[in-house]
Structure 1
Amino acid sequence: MRRDSLLFHADFRRLWAGDTASQLGTFVGATAIPLLAAVTLAATPFEMGLLTAAETVGFLLIGLPAGVWVDRLRKRPLMLAADLVRAVLLLSIPAAWWTGVLTMTQVLAVVLFTGFATVFFDVSYQAYLPALVGRRRLLEGNAKLQGVQSSAQIAGPSLAGVLVQFLGAASTIVVTGAGYLTSALCLWRIRTVEASGSRTGRERLLPQMVEGLRFVTADRPLRAIVACTATANLFGAAAQAVEVLFLTRRAGLAPAEVGVLLAVGGVGGIVAALCAGPVIRRLGQARSIWLVPVLVWPGNLLVPLAGPGWRLPLAGLGLAAAGFGVILYNVAQVSYRQAITPDRLLGRVNASVRFVVWGAMPLGGLLGGALGEGLGLTGALWVALAGELTGALWVICSPLRHMRNLPVAPDTAVPAG
């Protein structure tokens, strides 16, 4: 093993451990909360759309100013505070269920305000990684973190499906709250001294927000990547709004089977994370960004074929292929964005990108709910998954198609923790 591997970077290991706990809790909640709404609280397709929208609407409402605040402040304390807020909010759901007062309104409110805290965490997180490990090791760092996400995508839904089956959906959400508390503890133990933010008394909010957006729109490859991701997220959220309803009410799957099926996508993600560096270097970073979606994202089209018997593994195979492609695409494009962005703009650029690509998701959730009411669950799922594939057209028709690699900014020296 190379001595310059991030496995020897103590503070990265702490970040990695915290992310492992957080991601496991996130994916348990991502399965348990929709099951709670669909099965226990008998939510309608429109209410499921609202639930999906509530998860990410924070990026539309506060995403851009959050980027400015993240650039002005130290990132680690913001991330720690966000974890604690998310833990308290999510633990209120099982507490309300145990006392017999849980309603769909509370679930929506918890998801909404948890999403606000996630805005600050995610924007800080992507700005913090280059400061912690240096730009030269971003590809390795992002691959390891994406590997954690893919592992959690397997373990989280599977665990959630079993726990929901035996303990109930509301009680299962305790795991999500515990994951965020563990993440906060790991962040608290990081010892690397972080540089202070760029705050001065003369800076105004609006010009700084515009500066971040201008950087994103001025770079043609980055502009195409953002448009691709936003389109895929719009229709992906529409699919997510009706997916659990489809699997439980049309495909006839039990909660444990739903959990296993949703976990299978993480298998492909783990494979992608393990081989992301060699594969991306072999294909070229630019080529990976447009070729991978073309080759493997269509696997999602097998999901509407899900059902008992042989159709369940067929749908799982499609999810695994799509999961492989999503992780490779994310490692390539996120590493590029982090590498070309000046340190002083990292928070604002990450927030600007999230404003667009995650801001599309609440709109997609509402779209999915409307499609579910109008076309039925099966028709809505087909339309949403087909629409998701059109996102690749942005990068196919961009300068990326004629490039192999992308230029990056020089590395910055960062001491190991």
Structure 2
Amino acid sequence: MLISHRFRGLWRNTDFLKLWVGETISLFGSSITSVALPLAAVINLQATPAQMGFLNAAFFSPYLLISLFAGVWIDRARRLPIMIGANIGRAILLGLIPFGFYIGFLEMNFLYVIAFLVGVLTVLFEIAYQSYLPSLVKRTELVEGNSKLQASASIAQVSGPSLGGILVSLFTAPVVILTHALSCLISAYSLSLIRKPESKLEYQGEYKSVFREIKSGLHFLFTNSYLRAIAAQAATYNFFYQVVWTVIFIYMARELHFGPSSVGFVVTFLSVGALLGSLMARYFEKRFAMGPTIIASMFIGCGAYSLIPIAGGSSYMALLILVLSFFLIGFGVVISNIHVISLRQSITPHHLLGRMNASYRFVITGTTPIGALIGGTLGSLIGLHMTLIIGAVGTLSSLLWVLLSPIKSLYEIHDPAVQKSSSSSG
């Protein structure tokens, strides 16, 4: 009886557990690569700030180029096979990096191509993934499901970056990336074990043209006051976040003189904060309601970037400040993400989920390659420190979108105002 009492809810959903395990393993590999790939460019290829900007832009540009078309396709197809195929494709592409290193073919242009193609498959996976979850669990279980996914992913990510830094110092960054390729294969296998049939997608009438279906997804996003606000906030945040992320590894390696282990140690605390945030997300929602929780957590996550430019002086003090900053970023961003994702999934009709998620991704991540290019350019022209200051101010300014929206008075997902907004937008 004690076991039965403890393991309730989604703990009893074996198909959700397969999704959970597969995604966690994949994110473990991804967290290692988040350190190994930029270090491969900085250490092995002596990348400049501008080249780092191009590398990040190559990965994120597919969100701008294909996400809207991908959303239409995903609304017309079964989502699970798309996720499995995307993981297998990413494994093959990532495996080409250590292969290129061993045959002496590894150069920045090669990394640009791999980053772009991996970005294409990541777009397909993420849109299908967030559109698939509501068909696997009940809508009343979405917050629990997203919290569990964020919690387990954070556990994997806690050790991933520091382990990645250690492995890079022992071996080489290109070889360490192979762990991400292997994790994608394991994730694909775990997803293939899911047995629950996908619910049949229901379309209102016959298929429209691709561009008319894209328009319907964008229309739903921009006419819903809640979705419009969180999309604008995330787009602004991602633009300036990428300005910071483009130069932060060069800043730590060349100006703060951090080795790979120290870089991995700092990035680990992004995941430590994310883990704590994922565990406390439901508590904050029940204690303070959804709207105030979203705004407060966004303030913590965005405001923490202001600590990064003041990291200087002794190596110990710089390390301490960056650890605190990354911890608060992870803590705030994950709490807000859990509730924002659950809100989006709950208020969107099932037949529009793919197009809504694609439109959302197009808007919020389409700014990322632009931010990466500008971050690299600014790093070359005005220096790394001034670029970090601009990025910090910009991320904090993204809060204006939600402060001027009805989100601040939102109590819960099933608030009547949310449902009315959803129906009037559809």
Do Structure 1 and Structure 2 share a fold, with TM-score over 0.5? Answer: yes
Corresponding residue to 2:39 among 35, 46, 50: 35
Cross-structure match for 1:314? 321
After superposition, the C-alpha distances for 1:161-218 in whole angstroms (9 at most, x for unaligned) are 0010010101001101011011100011111111344578743101111111111111
Cross-structure match for 1:91? 95
Cross-structure match for 2:365? 358
Cα separation, 1, equivalents of 2:365 and 2:340: 15
Residue 226 of structure 1 pairs with residue 231 of structure 2: yes
Cross-structure match for 1:73? 77
Cα separation, 2, equivalents of 1:106 and 1:197: 39
1:203-214 map, 5 Å: 203-214=208-219
Cα separation, 2, equivalents of 1:302 and 1:151: 24
Structure 1 position 141, deviation (Å): 0.5
TM-score (normalised: structure 2)? 0.93
Corresponding residue to 2:189 among 163, 166, 185: 185
1:192-341 map, 5 Å: 192-197=196-201, 202-306=207-311, 308-341=315-348
Structure 1 position 409, deviation (Å): 5.4
The 1:305/1:165 distance shift into structure 2, 3 A limit, reads farther
Residue 50 of structure 1 pairs with residue 57 of structure 2: no
Secondary structure at the aligned position of 2:309 is classed as helix
**Matched residues, percent identical?**
37
Cα separation, 2, equivalents of 1:185 and 1:122: 17
Contact 1:305–1:315 under 8 Å retained in 2: no
Cα separation, 2, equivalents of 1:74 and 1:2: 33
Contact 1:247–1:306 under 8 Å retained in 2: no
Cα separation, 1, equivalents of 2:336 and 2:410: 16
Cα separation, 1, equivalents of 2:206 and 2:40: 47
Cα separation, 1, equivalents of 2:412 and 2:342: 12
After superposition, the C-alpha distances for 1:207-256 in whole angstroms (9 at most, x for unaligned) are 11111111111111211111001100110011110010000001110011
Cα separation, 2, equivalents of 1:36 and 1:354: 28
After alignment, is 3-12 or 267-276 more displaced? Answer: 3-12
Secondary structure at the aligned position of 2:208 is classed as coil
What root-mean-square deviation, in Å, do the aligned CA atoms of Structure 1 and Structure 2 show?
1.6
Secondary structure at the aligned position of 2:257 is classed as coil
1:102-181 map, 5 Å: 102-181=106-185
Secondary structure at the aligned position of 2:274 is classed as helix
1:275 partner letter: M
1:149 partner letter: A
Cα separation, 2, equivalents of 1:366 and 1:338: 32
Secondary structure at the aligned position of 2:199 is classed as coil
Cα separation, 2, equivalents of 1:241 and 1:182: 30
